[in-house]
Amino acid sequence: MSDTGETADLADAGVVELSRLLHAGEVSALDVAQACIERIEACDGGLNAMVRFDPQVGLAQARAADRRRAAGEAHPLLGIPYTAKDNIWVAGLGCTQGSLRFEHFRAPADAQAVAALRAAGAVFLGHTNCSEFACKGVTTNLLYGVTRNPWHPQLTPGGSSGGAASATAAGYAPLALATDAGGSTRRPAAHTGVVGFKPSAGLIPHALGHAEPVYGNSVIGQMTRSAADLRPVLRTLALDAPDDPQWRPHDVRERLAQTDAAPRLRIGYSPRLGLGHAVDPDVQQALERTAQALQALGHEVIACDPAWPADTSEEALMPLQWAGLAELHGPAWQAGEWTADPDIAAQIEKGLALAGSAVTAALRLREALHRSLSAYWTQVDVMLTPTTAATAWPWTQPGPATIEGRPASPRAHAVFTPLFNHVGVPALSLPCGLDAAGLPIGVQLVAPRFADAMLVALAETLEARLPRLPRPARPG
């Protein structure tokens, strides 16, 4: 099935545009859902972004949304389609985390974010693929196979939320729920030309769901077609949760309701994050153009890196993930209860062999990172970095073979995102252009904790100054 004309336009529209059309009565929720379903049916044989997709469920929810609108409801997300990553609970449905261990698991309840979208009348279209336990930088697993990038079928969309990214970029739905424990929302968004947002820790409650390996790091992230689309989504999902140990009283919802442009800000320009990271030249140039665009908007761009602790690296923090995997899954893996992805099995083995002192050292480093970044915010209001050190690479490899002409370790592409999970601050990846091969590049904006509304407002004004990316040449 191929989509053409009006249905194709609806499938490619964003949250804000669809909300306007629905509110004006120019289209129905059923029209929108049918357009998205046609796109999924046309493309997913090539992309493999969806792992759980029942068109009848989406159509039934769309009809219900139309009835609610006819009865006078007018929530901005009423009738808006969305997908959820396959580690986010939807009551009664499977939710495998990309693992054979959970092949037959059924979610006993909605995750809080899903419950909020259900109450708003959003239309759930299905679950998207992820790497096993969301702990790998490419999206492939032994249960559902490889997810491909709509910009090039031999390339990965990254991970672990590659299914969400490919689905959003290909027009399956204007909104995707994902998770982000080290960049899993932001990096795949950068590799596929969409917006990826990691909210402040504690902004969106997510106690109902699978236990996360990296305790305290993971948040419910969002992918959209524009930064403006984030505003109604976050206003819906930013719920009070006094029982969440990461929650704090905040005014994010109120600030999101304000439509004023971001004030003049001090932008800390940190092209290598102060850690000497290799960055491909096309990414460097796109970052420089973004800094110039911010200056043109009236912001003060300051070359300024955080003063990180001397031992700062992702590798020094990885014992937290390895220990978490070992605690949650080690005994079952040792008992041979399921076949794990070899990379995940290796991480579990590392966790089982860890000394407690390695975990304590990582926790102490996390505290030191927090102090360093707190000092940084006295100098600047927002940080600007690359989202990834390179653009997308073949899905058969864990990462690019080289970055900036140097041999690259498997995680060298991912170095710009994880530190911000460890300190709980919001971070956003914004598409900013294409590399010489025509692949998307993303830049990352980072702000202090619970400055999410300021970050969204800045991204809204900035995206109008950045190149508008073409639609990917999706399969089908």
Catalytic residue among 28, 160, 200, 270, which? 160
184 is catalytic: yes
Token output for 285: 């140039």
270 is catalytic: no
Catalytic residue among 85, 136, 226, 429, which? 85
Q: How many Cα atoms occupy the beta-carbon half-sphere of 174 within 13 Å? A: 30
Give the Cα-Cα-Cα angle 45, 172, 8 (nearest 5 degrees): 100
Catalytic residue among 166, 184, 226, 270, which? 184
350 is catalytic: no
Catalytic residue ranges: 85, 160, 184
